[in-house]
Amino acid sequence: MEVAVEYRFYQNGYDLFLFEKQSDWTTIAFPITFGKVTSAELFAPCVFLKKEVAHQLMDELWRAGVRPTEVGSPGQLKAVENHLQDMRKLTFELLKGYIKDPSNV
C-alpha cells in the first residue's frame, strides 16, 4: 500500500489517497462512508496501515505542509541542551586568558 497527500488551499484541507500499484493495474481506496452505531457496538477500524505506510503518511503530510502542534520534542530539547553545553565549554575556553578568577563568572 502507498499513500499520497495533496493540500487543497481553496478548501483549506488535504486529500488523502491510499493505493497499491501492480504491474498492469492499480488498486485504490474509495471514499470512506460513515454509519451510525450505538455506543455498545464494537466496530473495526476503517483502515489498517503497516508501520512503513504510516511512516509514509507522516512524510507525505510533512511534504504537504502539516506540522505538529506540539512545540519541540524530547529529541529537539536534548539537542538544544547539548548545544548549550558545548557553547559554554567553548566560551570558557576562549575567555580563559581574560578571566583571572573563573569562580566569579
| Residue found by looking up cell 566569579 in the block | 104
4 band by pLDDT with thresholds 50, 70 and 90: very high
Q: Does residue 105 or residue 13 have the better pLDDT?
A: 13
Residue 27 pLDDT exceeds 90: yes
User: Quick check: 105 pLDDT over 60?
Assistant: no
Q: Is the pLDDT of residue 91 over 80?
A: yes
What one-character DSSP code corresponds to residue 69? S
For residue 69, what pLDDT is reported? 79
What pLDDT is recorded for position 43?
Answer: 85
**Domain residue extents for the chain:** 1-67, 71-105
Position 100 scores a pLDDT of: 66
Percentage helix, strand, coil for the chain under 3-state DSSP, each rounded to 5: 35, 20, 45
Consecutive H or E run containing 37: none
This prediction's pTM:
0.57
What pLDDT is attached to residue 101?
63
Q: How far apart are CA 80 and CA 87, in angstroms?
A: 10
Determine the Cα–Cα distance for residues 52 and 67; give it in Å rounded to an integer: 19
Give the rounded percent of residues in the chain with a pLDDT score beyond 90: 44
Q: Report the pLDDT averaged over residues 13-25.
A: 93
